[in-house]
Amino acid sequence: MENPLMSGAELGRAFESGTIDPVEALEQYLARASQTKHVFIARTEERARAEAKLAAERWRRKQPLGPLDGVPIAWKDLFDVRGTVTTAGAAVFTDHPPATEDAKLVAMAARAGLVCLGKTNLVEFAFSGIGINPHFGTPHNPFDAKVARVPGGSSSGSAVAVAVGAVPISMGTDTAGSIRIPAAFNGLVGFKSSSRHYSRDGVFPLSRTLDSLGPLAHTVEDCILLDALFHDAQPPRILAADLAQQRFVVDEVLLHDPRVEEGVRKNLERALDALRAQGARIEHRKVDALHEVWALIERIGWMAAPEAVAIHEKLLDSPDAARMDPRVRKRLDGARGFRASDYVHLQWARERLIAQVGEELGGAVLVLPTVAHVAPELEPLERDLDRFVATNLATLRLTMLGSFLDMPGVALPTGVDAAGLTTSVLVSVPSGHDARILSVALAAEHALSSQRPTHQRAL
C-alpha cells in the first residue's frame, strides 16, 4: 500500500483492482496503529483479522458486500463494540463489563464488510473541544513535529487515527463541535449529522438533545458511502451539487471577529473565491439567529451541561468522583445549579431559532470558519485550568451555534497557515437536510482540492 493516507473508497477500488487485498491492508494499518501514542483505547485485532479474511475472499470471488468491503474503520469509545468495554474515556468505567453486542451502526458497518480495527481515545465523557485525556493520554496533533499541540475534541483519537494513516475512516460523536473541531485541527473532512439522522442505539450519551454522530475521513466521498450503508441504501444516493445553482451565506460579523486568526480568515476567503469561480453566489450578511443563539449561551448557559449532570450525577456524588478528570468534573459541578426554568427557556428558544435560521438562509448554505484559530499548544492547557476553560470556550464558539440549531455540517480543509497548521471551513444547512449538505460538500471539496494540506504528518 503505497499511500497510508488513502481514503476508504480508494482502498476499496484497490481491492477491486487486485493491487492489494484486505488482509495485507489490515496488517499495514495495524502496524501503523501500533506506533501511535494515546490514539487507541483498544484494538480489536482478532476480530479485524477474521473480518478482513472474509472480505478478501469476497473480493476474490468478485462478490463484495459494497464499495467499502474490507476497509478498516475505528470507533470512538462511546460506541459499544462486542467484547470490549465502552470506557467513554473515563478511568472509572474501565472495570465495567464488556459490551455483549455491537451498537447499531457498528453492526451495520460489519454487515457491509467494514473491518473493525478498534476503539479510539476521547475526552472523558466527551465533554470538551480540546482533546485532553489524563487517563489514557492525549493524542498529539500530527501537523507539528516539534511542539505538542492539541488534537481537538472530543473525538481526538478518531481524528488522529485517520490523520496519521492508522485507519482510513473513523466514527465520532458531536454535541458542540466534537467531530468538526478535530477535523479542522487535523486536516480532515468531518460530517456532523442532524441529531436524529443516525441511530444512537448503543452509543453512550453526553446530551440526549444535542448528540449527533458522524465520520472523520479524508474525503466527502467516504462520508457519503458510510451514509448510504447506515441507511441501507446501495448504491449511494448522493451526487455532487451544481455549485452554479448554490447560494452561500457568510456571516460578516463572525468572519471579521478579531478572534478569527488571520490564517483562518485568509484561507476561508480563498475558499470562497474557489466556490465563486465555479459559479456559486456568495452573500455577505448577518444571520441574526446565530447571534441570538450565542446571546442565549452567554446569558443562560449550554443546555448540554445539565443533561450531562443528570447522566453523571450518581458518579459526581460518589467517592469515584475523585478519579475523574478535574477539568470535566469542574464543568459538571458548575452545571449543578442550572435552573429548570432556564433549561426550559433554552428548549423553547431552540425550537423557534431552528425555524428562524431556515427562514433567514432561504435555501442558502451557511459558511463559517470551523474554528477561529489553529490547534493551540498542549502543555499550557494541561498546566493552567483557567487557560484551558477560556481556550475550550473559544474553540467551541462557532461549532456550538450549529449544534444548538441542529444543523448538519461538513468541515472541509482549507489549507494551512504560515506555521503549517491546518485551517477549515464549515458548511451547514438547516436541520434534517443531511443529504443536501453532503451533496454540496462533495462539490465544494472538488473546488477546494488545491487547498488540502499535503505536508508530512508525524506519528
Catalytic positions: 76, 154, 178
Please provide residue 304's backbone torsions phi and psi, each rounded to the nearest 5 degrees: -70, -25
Give φ, ψ of 213 to 5 degrees: -120, 160
Spatial neighbors of 256 by CB under 8 A, at least 6 apart, are: 265
Q: Can you list the alpha helix ranges (DSSP code H) found in 204-261? A: 220-230, 252-255
Q: C-alpha grid cell for residue 180?
A: 468538526
Single out the residue of 278, 199, 209, 305 nearest to residue 440, CA to CA: 278
In 154-222, DSSP assigns E strands to: 169-174, 189-192, 212-217
d(CA 146, CA 319): 39
Q: In this structure, what C-alpha cell is assigned to residue 146? A: 516539534
In the block, cell 480508494 appears at 10
Alpha helices of 119-261 — where are they, by DSSP H? 156-163, 180-185, 220-230, 252-255
Cell numbers 455540517 correspond to what residue? 409
Cα 407 from Cα 306, distance rounded (Å): 21
DSSP secondary structure code for residue 262 in this structure: H
Burial class of residue 182 (count of CB atoms within 10 Å of its CB; 0-12, 13-18, 19+): buried
Burial class (CB in 10 A: 0-12, 13-18, 19+), 246: buried
Q: Which amino acid is at 192?
A: K
